Every structure is written in structure tokens, then in C-alpha cells.
Structure 1
Amino acid sequence: MTDHSLQRRLEGMLLGGERKYTRLEVAQRAGVAQERSRKLWQALGFASVGDDEVVFTDADVEAVRTTDRLIGTGLLHRDLETAVARTVGLHLSRLAEWQSQLLWSLIEQHPELAADEQQLVDLVRRLLPELERVQNFVWRRHLAAYAGRALAADEDLESRAQVVGFVDMVGYTRMTRRVDEAELGEVLERFEALATELIAEHRGRVVKMIGDEVLFVSDSPVEAAEVALSLAERTSADERLPPVRAGLAAGRVLSRFGDVYGSVVNLASRLTSMARPGTVLVDRELATELARVPEYELRTRRPVSVRGYNRVRSAALRRARDLAATSRAAAPDERSPSDP
């Protein structure tokens, strides 16, 4: 059996049928305009295809019909369908890439799978429904959590007051030049696992992992502070991880298709770039909130000019108990809140 034959067998299983329609035939069978079906296909992250290429299945036709029904119910506005498709395609393509890598890693560990194509096909056939069940369960749990928050909220969920945090590993670029791929993968895995664990524990939300950096949001100033401080503490105690630095800012944030935007996001990013290894910087608004919490100590820093901001006013956030063991003298660029 050739590799092309194996590819066709796996493809038919994953796509739920054989390729037998062109793009124009899909649009006709689904009852939607041809240009609309083309935009949806591209928004999902798939390459453009010619009008005469037979690449679509019955599942593709049903997917277009389902999208059309969602718009008909009013749940999804027609002006947003392309943006929604783009977001779904972006996140699911990353998931599919990772799962494919897992499969090939399994094959490398068990050469007998590569030698027996039928055994490989049977393995994928068994794993596919299990993966679907897990993904469906996780999606429903998250949907239930977010739906509960939406029903309990008394403000606009798309634009509301939140705390935005960036935490990144210090010296990551230098580290990539001196470690091999296996070591780098282990560092990234440990950092991502620790970050997602702490953010979930403190009821925040991971917006995205960007290599050596995590972006998260929280509805609570205290919980956001705990995430940043705990990450700094845990990475400092782990010899296999480089130190981290963090920046937190509070204010109105625009949430759109799982990502966040606005000046607060930009400010949190700038604060991160200003922070020393192992430290957490917060903006003035968040410092005012956290100053009321006795467990924390804040030391204001002199204003600094960074890209996009002339004079960024910030404060270094620490745990109050940590100060008893350190010198009372402030760092050269730090002053106590009562200093002029």
C-alpha cells in the first residue's frame, strides 16, 4: 500500500467521507451565495481552491448549512460570521497541529505502527471519538462557566473593567541559543503548565501563550496580584526555569473573540518590559486598589518614558512579609508611597 493510499484512508475517516464536491456545488447544495461560502472557507484558515477542484465532502455542505441556520436564529449576526469563523479556525488549527504531533511522536516510539498501515488506521479510528468526547466535555464546561458569569454580570461583557497581566521569562532569547530543542521544549512545558495552573487556581483566564510569555486577565485585583507574585516565586524556586517579570494594569478592556485590546493591555505590556527579573510592576490605578490590602507592600517608582508613553508611573508590588527580611533602604529608582 502506498503512502497516498494511507493518506486517502485517514483523510476519509477524518473528513467523514470522500471528496466529491467543488466549492460551487457546496454553495448550491447548502443554499448560500458562492462568495459567502468562499469567505467562510478562507476565514477558517484553509487555502483557496479553484472552482473546479473536487475537495469538499458532505460534512462541508452540512457545516455551511449549520452556519446559515445559526444566523437565521439570530444567535450569530451575519456581519460577524467571517470573524467568528476566523477565530474558530485559528484556535482549532493549533489544536489539530498539536494532536498530529502527538500521533507522530507515538509512531516514532512504536515503529511497528509505521510498518503496519492497517494497525495505524485502526489506532486513529479508536482515538478519534475519544478525542472528540474530551474536547466536547472541556468546551461544555468552559461554556457553562462563561455563561454563568454572563448571566450574573451587571455590565457589558465585551468592554468592562478588568486587570490585564503579562508575565514573561527573562533571558529566554539567550537561552534558546545555548540549549537544544528537547531542553527548550521542557522549559516551555514547565512554564506553560505552571502559568495555566496558577491562573486557573486564582479564577483568571489565559488569553494566550506567546512562547516565553503569558497574557491573562482577571476580574479581581487581588487574584491578579496573586498570579503574578506566585509565578515569580515558583519560577525562582525552580532551578530548571529562568526568572520571570510581570506587569499588571487595571481599567476598561475590550474583549473580542477571545482576545483583549485597549490601552490597558498596552500599558501592562510596557510595565513588563520595565520590570526587573523576579519583580512585578503595577500601574497607578491598580496600585491604589492593592494599597488597601495589608498583605501587600507597594513602592512607587520614578516615572519612565517608554514607547507610546511619556511618563509611565508604576509601583513595585511585593508581599508584606517579604519586606521584614530585606533592607528598609529603597532601590535607587524606588521610593516609598510617602516620599515626595
Structure 2
Amino acid sequence: MTLQQRIEEMLLGGPRRYTRIEVTEKSGVPAERARELWHSLGFAAVPDDAKVFTDSDLTALRTANELVQAGITDPSQVTSSARMLGQHMSRLAESQVELLRGILLANPELATDERQLIRFIERIVPDLEHLQTFAWRRHLAAYAGRALVATDADVAAHQQVVGFADMVGFTSFTRRSSEAELVSVVDRFDAVTAEVVAENHGRIVKMIGDEVLFVADTPTGGAEIALTLLERAESDDELPLLRAGLAYGRVLSRFGDIYGSVVNLASRLTSIARPGSVLIDRELTSALAESPHFVIRHRRPVAVRGYARLRAAVLRRAHDDAELLHIPLEPDDLPSR
């Protein structure tokens, strides 16, 4: 058995012993259904006679089938959940392998001694699994505590602030920077973003290269996240300036992602925001109009993809605006008060 096979067997919890046909027969799940779930998890098709499945695969397939038979969920929901798990776990696994590679590069004796390498993996994987379960349960408790006790009326009326923030000039930065410099900036951006969003009770939906997509349950929370992100970037020598766009309204949340016109609007606002500025839509403008903490300056409508006359406003902190009163307004900035 090769080293790769030993590592795979250890991680999979046992040897690959079943073909696709055998695992479907033993689980009682139709072959087409099993193939659909396998693809949803992000794995490629395998030949019918290839022994690639383990006892853990069989158990997982049986569990999914039992949930459907018990009426707890339906096949389409299982498929969607499998797709979501596959996408997130794939990214998590890739990042963890990079972490392990870094450890091996720093400790070459582990990489050159198979016994030490196997013992190292046997030691570290349960710890990673424990931390994953811990983080999952904490997040599950946080969301379940709010969502499972909410009434139908609360859910129907639920609105959120959707925000994007991206690094200005990142494309040109990648052309002139080394891989190490690029990794440093991305890691710094991720760290600052995670801290700011968490401190203001928001949620990161996803990181998209040089951009973050986040949501907040309140207009003030969304505004604070965007403004604080820009302030932190401006004071951080490692980071380029940021720009941000915020929109407020009904959002469809599904399997960890968000959809709807509010998301599209926030993206468009970000694309036309100047470096170091936050643009907001009309709904958020109305929601923040009476807040003494912010000043809103309307901009003339502009045409962007999907919007012939996009109305936007620049969001600033009240004390920042007072300090800038002696500076002439930009041509398209119209004071609202």
C-alpha cells in the first residue's frame, strides 16, 4: 500500500471496498439518486466496477435516505444541502491542506519519515474535526436561537442590509506583486473583515477574491460595518483603500447564500463608489435619515447595468462630514440636510 493510500484510508475511516452498484444495493437508494448526491457533493463520476466507496459512504447514504423516508426532508432539499456542504467543505479542506503543507515545510523530518507523517496526521485530524464541530455548533446555536423561535410574521417582515466592500486597484496590485505579498494582503483583508463584521453583529456571506459580501439585520449595523471597514483599511499600511455599497430590503437566504434585487443593487452601488466612500440605496437612505450619527449626501442618478437611473447617496459619519465642510462638494454630491 502506498503512502497516499494509507493516508486516504485513515482519513476515510476505512478501505475503499464497494463499487457504485454495491453501495446503492446495500443502502437501498436508487442508483440515479445516489449518483445525483455524489455529484452534488462535488465528486466526479466513477466507473460502475471501481471500488471507491467505504463504509462511511454507505452510512451517509443510508442516513440521507432515512431522513427522506421519515418525512423530515425531501429529495430536493437533500440534494441542495449536499451541494452546499460540498462547496463549503471543499474550500475548507483545501485551506486545511495548505495549513498542513506549511507545517510539513517547516518540519521537513515529518515529510521524509512515513511513520512520523502518519502519526502526525493521526494526531492533528481529530483536533481539526473537533474544532470544526465546535464552530458549527456555536454558529448553529446563534442562528437557531433567533430563527427557530421567530413567528411566521417575523420571518415574512424580515429585511436586511446587504453590503459589498472591495479593495481598490487590486487587479493592478496583483500584476506587480509577488505571491507572498498577495497572500499577505488577502489574509489581512480577511482578518480585518472578519473582525469588523463580527463586532457589529453582521455575517459574512462569502469572500469573493478582493471583495466581501456581508449582511446585517439593522440599518445602523450595516452602516457601521461599511464605514468601519473603510476606516480600518485607510489606517492600515498593508491594505489598499476600500469602497463599499449598501442596499436595504427583503433578501432570500438559501443554504448560506443570498439572492434578490437587493444583492444586485448593492453590487452595482459598489461598482460606482469612489475609493474610500460608501454608497447607499434609497431604502437605506430613508432608514438612516433620522440618525444623528450619519450624514447622507445624495448623488445625481447614473446609468449602470440593469438600472437606467440608479439613485444613490454617499454615507459618512456626522463628525467626518463636519470636518469636510470647508472642502467643495463633488459635482454629483447633493446635500440632503
TM-score by length of 1: 0.96
Q: Which residue of 2 aligns with 1:107?
A: 104
Distance 2:99 2:166 in 1: 26
- CA gap 1:215/1:311 in 2 versus in 1, 3 angstroms: same
Q: Which residue of 1 aligns with 2:275?
A: 277
Q: Which residue of 2 aligns with 1:140?
A: 137
Distance 1:159 1:140 in 2: 27
Q: Which residue of 1 aligns with 2:23?
A: 26
Matched, 1:47 2:44: yes
SS in 2 for 1:18: coil
- Alpha-carbon distance, 1:18 to partner: 0.4
Q: Which residue of 1 aligns with 2:167?
A: 169
SS in 2 for 1:56: coil
Q: Which residue of 2 aligns with 1:251?
A: 249
Is contact 1:159-1:254 (8 Å) kept?
no
- CA gap 1:27/1:159 in 2 versus in 1, 3 angstroms: farther
Distance 2:111 2:217 in 1: 49
Distance 2:69 2:158 in 1: 29
Distance 1:152 1:268 in 2: 29
Within 5 Å, give how 1:172-187 maps onto structure 2.
Answer: 172-187=170-185
Q: Which moved more, 1:254-263 or 1:157-166?
A: 157-166
- Alpha-carbon distance, 1:196 to partner: 1.0
- CA gap 1:287/1:148 in 2 versus in 1, 3 angstroms: same
- CA gap 1:314/1:92 in 2 versus in 1, 3 angstroms: same
Question: Structure 1: any 5+ residue segments left out of the alignment?
Answer: none
Matched, 1:5 2:2: yes
Within 5 Å, give how 1:121-136 maps onto structure 2.
Answer: 121-136=118-133
Within 5 Å, give how 1:1-340 maps onto structure 2.
Answer: 5-154=2-151, 155=153, 157=155, 160-328=158-326, 329-337=328-336
Q: Deviations over 1:142-169 (max 9, x none)?
A: 0011101113433475994111000000
- Alpha-carbon distance, 1:105 to partner: 1.3
Distance 1:24 1:160 in 2: 46
Q: Deviations over 1:221-257 (max 9, x none)?
A: 0000000000000100011100000000011111111
Q: Deviations over 1:192-246 (max 9, x none)?
A: 1111111111111110000100001111000000000000001000111000000
Distance 2:14 2:333 in 1: 65
SS in 2 for 1:247: strand
Distance 1:81 1:210 in 2: 26
**RMSD across aligned positions (CA):** 1.3
AA in 1 matched with 2:160: Q
- CA gap 1:218/1:74 in 2 versus in 1, 3 angstroms: farther
Q: Deviations over 1:42-93 (max 9, x none)?
A: 1100110011111011110001011112223333222221111111000001
Aligned residues: 335
SS in 2 for 1:74: coil
- Alpha-carbon distance, 1:123 to partner: 0.3
- CA gap 1:281/1:94 in 2 versus in 1, 3 angstroms: same
Is contact 1:188-1:212 (8 Å) kept?
yes
AA in 2 matched with 1:317: L
Distance 1:337 1:152 in 2: 40
- Alpha-carbon distance, 1:327 to partner: 2.8
SS in 1 for 2:248: strand
- CA gap 1:274/1:75 in 2 versus in 1, 3 angstroms: same
AA in 2 matched with 1:36: R
- CA gap 1:73/1:208 in 2 versus in 1, 3 angstroms: same
Q: Identity of counterpart residues, as a percentage?
A: 57
Q: Deviations over 1:126-150 (max 9, x none)?
A: 1111111110011011001110111
Distance 1:299 1:210 in 2: 29
AA in 1 matched with 2:12: L
- CA gap 1:97/1:159 in 2 versus in 1, 3 angstroms: farther
Distance 2:299 2:146 in 1: 36
SS in 2 for 1:324: helix
